[in-house]
């Protein structure tokens, strides 16, 4: 709904193109009848001028003044309603456009679920009760519905100025997949946790039997080993390995968000389908919940901007902060380049969640791997649907796929481990492989 640029004529009302066109065509018809000395053009122009005169006489009234101001012409409310349980997640939306000057019709522009806006022409009574359900396809922060209304006078010859747009925004949390196998960094440097480290300390797994040294606890004396000792007066203690925690960094590449339908990559309003950021949010939320449940420290970083950086920490409150940052991750649409790579904790495990459609995440992953961190590249690009592509577009897609494959091979040759996330069997197999052989003891 766009303003035609004409100034309001009477109390905020504007002449519609229909009325202006009727006047112009009517005048042209009368002039042509006079010049040509023929009555036929007058038969066309006179009724149009008569209709324009009647429409001008029936113009809507002015706005009523209220306490020195003007009464609002209309109000549009968009609210979330209770929806019936269904197999697919949906949200019910109720829209009410109220007119206060009793127009003949109300024009409402609707934007539902990220689709292209549509204009509907309704009676004032029908515009007050618009209800429907919107399927929740994507996660994260999104606009579920937006509405904007304007009033139309008699025969649509007058139109009011568009009112303020009412919007309904909501943050949809991604699904959390159970992660049964957790990869760990090469070295555990934390002092608390549930993972068995390689250094001696208070833990539960037997390490060795050694001579008693100052500082050892008396309850750790192994009396059987002491009794079998050859020298009298020597005490032997039973040593165990200490438990530790891991530092995990989740780096999400939110610079772009591409759908699984390749034909929609260049469209302003893509069709509802799983996107790469949906997969990235799901992976980040699942890994955050799994590692924090194991007592590990989790941090978050977004390559799309430097405003959402959370250092790795433990605890329930920090877990909620990380999950909130994951929920609010949206595509920036700009090619943001990091001048310096983000600083990480020593000996951290880094998950780089990206589509790897350019070289920046590859460069950062190789930099972190060269610094001694264990880096796992998570491919979040969903399965591609190329059914609506032309022959030229299929060739371009093959070129993009080849470049992606070369980047992933470059990561593997540099010591970075690669795993997919959208493919469930491949993801489970990759997690088991990474958990079994990724850590050196």
Q: What is the pLDDT of residues 314-327, one digit of tens each?
A: 888 999 999 999 99
261 vs 83, residue with greater confidence: 261
Domain boundaries, the chain: 13-57, 65-172, 196-244, 247-437
Helix axes 360-370, 391-413, angle to 10 degrees: 10
pLDDT range class, residue 288, cuts 50, 70, 90: very high
Q: What is the pLDDT of residue 293?
A: 87
For strand 206-211 and strand 158-160, is the pairing parallel, antiparallel, or unpaired?
A: unpaired
pTM of the model: 0.76
Q: Would you say residue 112 has pLDDT above 80?
A: yes
CA distance 394 to 385: 11
Please check the confidence at residue 66 and state whether its pLDDT lies above 70: no
In CATH, the number for domain 65-172 is: 2.60.40.10
Choices 3.30.310, 3.40.50, 3.20.20, 3.30.1490: CATH for 247-437: 3.40.50
Say yes or no to pLDDT of 402 above 80.
yes
Domains 65-172 and 247-437 share a fold: no
The whole-number pLDDT of residue 339 equals 57
Reply yes or no on whether the pLDDT at 364 is more than 60: yes
pLDDT recorded at residue 48:
83
Answer whether residue 4 shows pLDDT above 50: no
**Can you say whether the dihedral through the CA atoms of 6, 8, 14, 19 is positive or negative?**
negative
* Residue 33 or 226, more confident: 33
pLDDT the model gives residue 355:
93
Query: What Rg do the C-alpha atoms of the chain give, in angstroms?
Result: 34
Confidence check: pLDDT of 62 > 70: no
At 155-192, the pLDDT tens digits run 677 777 788 888 889 899 999 999 988 898 877 665 55
291: pLDDT strictly greater than 80: yes
Placement of tokens 């090619």 in the chain: 335
Average pLDDT over residues 288-295: 89
Q: How confident is the model at residue 68 (pLDDT cuts 50, 70, 90)?
A: very low
Beta-bridged to residue 78, according to DSSP, are 95
Mean pLDDT of all residues in the chain? 80
SS3 string, the chain, reads CCCCCCCCCECCEEECHHHHHHHHHHHHHHHHHHHHCCCHHHHHHHHHHHHHHHHHHCCCCCCCEECCEECCCEEEEEEEECCCCCCCCEEEEEEEEEECCCCCEEEEEEEECCCCCEEEEECHHHHCCEEEEEECCCCEEEEEEEEEEEEECHHHCEEECCCCCEEEEEEECCCCCCCCCCCCCCCCCCCCCCEEEEEECCCCCEEEEEECCCCCCHHHECHHHHHCCCCCCCCEEEEEEEEECCEEEEEECCCCCCECEHHHCCCCCCCCCCEHHHHHHHHHHHHHHHHHHCCCEEEEEECCCCCCCEEEECCHHHHHHHHHHHHCCCCCCCCCCCCCCCCCCCCCEEEEEECCCCCHHHHHHHHHHHCCCEEEEEECCCCCECCCCCHHHHHHHHHHHHHHHHHHHHHHHCCCEEEECCCHHHHHHHHHHHHHHCCCC
How many Å apart are CA 80 and CA 94, to the nearest integer?
6
Cα separation, 31 vs 233, in Å, equals 128
- Cβ atoms of 99 and 73 within 8 Å: the answer is yes
Q: Which pLDDT tens digit goes with each residue over 307-363?
A: 668 888 888 899 999 999 999 998 876 666 665 666 777 778 999 999 999 998 999
């Amino acid at each position: 709904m766009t303003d035609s640029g004409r100034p309001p004529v009477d109390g905020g009302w504007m002449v519609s193109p229909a009325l202006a066109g009727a006047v112009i065509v009517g005048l042209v018809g009368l002039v042509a009848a006079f010049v040509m000395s023929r009555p036929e053009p007058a038969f066309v122009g006179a009724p149009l001028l008569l209709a324009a005169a009647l429409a001008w006489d029936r113009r809507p009234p002015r706005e009523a003044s209220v306490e020195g101001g003007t009464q609002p012409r209309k109000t549009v409310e968009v609210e979330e309603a209770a929806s019936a349980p269904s197999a697919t997640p949906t949200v019910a939306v109720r829209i009410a456009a109220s007119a206060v000057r009793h127009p003949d019709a109300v024009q409402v522009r609707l934007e539902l679920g990220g689709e292209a806006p549509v204009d509907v022409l309704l009676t004032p009574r029908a515009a007050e009760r618009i209800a429907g359900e919107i399927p929740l396809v994507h996660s994260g922060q999104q606009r579920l519905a937006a509405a904007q209304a304007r009033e139309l006078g008699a025969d649509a010859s007058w139109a009011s100025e568009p009112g303020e747009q009412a919007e309904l925004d909501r943050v949809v949390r991604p699904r959390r997949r159970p992660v049964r196998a957790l990869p760990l960094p090469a070295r555990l440097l934390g002092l608390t946790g549930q993972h068995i480290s390689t250094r001696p300390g208070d833990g539960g797994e037997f390490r060795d039997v050694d001579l008693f040294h100052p500082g050892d606890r008396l309850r750790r004396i192994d009396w059987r080993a002491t009794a079998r000792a050859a020298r009298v007066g020597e005490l032997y203690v039973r040593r165990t390995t200490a438990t530790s925690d891991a530092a995990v960094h989740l780096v999400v590449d939110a610079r772009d968000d591409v759908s699984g339908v390749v034909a929609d990559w260049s469209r302003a309003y893509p069709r509802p389908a799983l996107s790469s950021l949906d997969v990235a949010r799901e992976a980040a939320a699942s890994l955050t919940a799994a590692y924090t449940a194991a007592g590990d420290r989790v941090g978050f970083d977004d390559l799309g901007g430097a405003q959402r950086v959370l250092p790795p920490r433990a605890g329930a409150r920090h877990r909620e902060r990380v999950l909130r940052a994951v929920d609010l991750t949206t595509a920036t649409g700009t090619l943001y380049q990091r001048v310096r790579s983000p600083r990480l904790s020593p000996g951290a495990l880094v998950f780089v969640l990206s589509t790897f459609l350019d070289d920046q995440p590859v460069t950062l992953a190789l930099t972190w791997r060269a610094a001694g961190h264990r880096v796992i590249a998570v491919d979040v690009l969903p399965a591609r649907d190329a059914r609506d592509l032309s022959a030229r577009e299929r060739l371009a897609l093959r070129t993009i796929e080849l470049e992606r494959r070369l980047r992933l091979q470059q990561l593997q040759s540099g010591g970075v481990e690669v795993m997919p996330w959208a493919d469930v069997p491949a993801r489970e197999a990759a997690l088991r492989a990474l958990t079994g052989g990724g850590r050196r003891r």
